[in-house]
Structure 1
């Protein structure tokens, strides 16, 4: 009995605008990624996630105003979209609007308690507020969740793109 091997020619690359947007984002082709995520959002393909990813691209392009609008649009599509909530928290934190950041991070954690990045960034806020013990606890939880995500990834159970 011989083992069958799949030829490399039969592998498919990203096919949907959303998938191609992810590839463009990973390749740091931000303008292309914005276009592809816009196409995906218009087509209703993972609309909230596409709008949020478009916002991430715009952050890389140093267009904070458009990025914030994209994160807000993502929340219109899904009010519990943890990445958009977290990114709005990040923008608030960077601007020194600590209470706004807290509201966004707490909403992200309530929406997805396993979203490690929300816990990590909430820990940054807590440290800035002088709540070092609470910050350390959040960082430990974020690390534990991130390790779980890593093992999920290795086992083929991806949590999030």
Structure 2
């Protein structure tokens, strides 16, 4: 006989939801939970990396390169695969002249991202900064192989060849850079300097003027025009160029010094003295201005003052050969022949033909 089941009035059905504890999760559930946790952690790391990266870019744009490097390091620490952080960190290290650090950064980046032409280009810059020209050449060549349309790679390769005094090769690379980017004045200026070193002064002036058409307010280009025109014995043209350079940058000590040389060669000694003194006032560590002043005082037969100023130039730069020549000449007139011969010998050892001539003619 079946027993009947009766429901009594007032009976309460259980309506509470039950949530499983972790130890009761299935394997699939646990994997899902772990993946969500990891995703959240990754998202937080990426966000932190991006924040530090953005701060690094901001600092870089303000030319606070060392602080920018610190921010890029934080970005990389949060996301070790963020290649843009590596790249900009390396660029900042190059700008800060921390070439060994930049070399390591770009080598790491190249390992992470094969075929990255700009990384090879920037590593080439680092090698160039370390004066490792052979490895720099290889990296520039690889950068060009990977991206034949990057004008900066050709430009930097040109600067490397210029430093090696291979002016024909430098001209070739500067010309290619100009073909790819005709708007940039730098390649015109530097190709002009190649022509100047080859004593092809009209071609040099042509390129300097082309650079100035791109940007008429480049004081260093105007200075180059002045030095080239001085070599052409066009002193009026040189003075005009130096005056323009100084009007663009009133603290451009090189232009004051070079204008002083042009005035000296014209025989305007008083004005030359003012320019050399102005150059030293702006940059007290600029040895050529002190040495040039020594030369003027020698011309004025103030040999003691000439010796003093040449000694000052040597104290600033112990490897500045012209200062030893000038001091030797002053000491000769002060009847200090042993000291004069020591100075000329030092100048000769530093590669000065004037020092060699003075020493061989007076001290043997």
Normalising by structure 2, we get a TM-score of 0.36
Structure 2 matches for 1:48-63, cutoff 5 A? 48-63=185-200
Structure-2 change in CA distance of 1:6 and 1:68 (3 Å)? closer
Residue 138 (structure 1) aligned with residue 278 (structure 2): no
Q: Residues 20-59 of structure 1: CA distance to partner in whole angstroms, max 9, x if unpaired?
A: 2211111111111112222223333882121111011112
Match of 2:184 among 47, 50, 53: 47
Once the two structures are TM-superposed, the CA of residue 19 in structure 1 deviates from its matched residue by 1.8
Structure-2 change in CA distance of 1:89 and 1:31 (3 Å)? same
Gaps of 5+ in 2: 1-99, 108-121, 126-139, 141-152, 287-364
Secondary structure in 2 matching 1:12:
helix
Structure-2 change in CA distance of 1:46 and 1:132 (3 Å)? farther
How many residue pairs get matched? Answer: 144
Query: What is the match of residue 12 of structure 1?
Result: 123
For the 8 Å contact 2:205–2:225, the answer to whether it is kept is: yes
Secondary structure in 1 matching 2:156:
helix
For the 8 Å contact 2:211–2:221, the answer to whether it is kept is: yes
Query: What is the match of residue 232 of structure 2?
Result: 95
Once the two structures are TM-superposed, the CA of residue 107 in structure 1 deviates from its matched residue by 0.5
RMSD of the TM alignment (CA)? Answer: 2.7
Once the two structures are TM-superposed, the CA of residue 119 in structure 1 deviates from its matched residue by 1.5
Once the two structures are TM-superposed, the CA of residue 146 in structure 1 deviates from its matched residue by 7.3
Structure-2 change in CA distance of 1:8 and 1:99 (3 Å)? closer
Quick one: distance in 1 between partners of 2:226 and 2:238?
Answer: 4
Once the two structures are TM-superposed, the CA of residue 134 in structure 1 deviates from its matched residue by 2.5
Match of 2:285 among 147, 150, 154: 147
- Pick 1 or 2: higher relative contact order, CA cutoff 8 A, min separation 6: 1
Once the two structures are TM-superposed, the CA of residue 103 in structure 1 deviates from its matched residue by 0.9
Once the two structures are TM-superposed, the CA of residue 80 in structure 1 deviates from its matched residue by 1.8
Gaps of 5+ in 1: 149-161
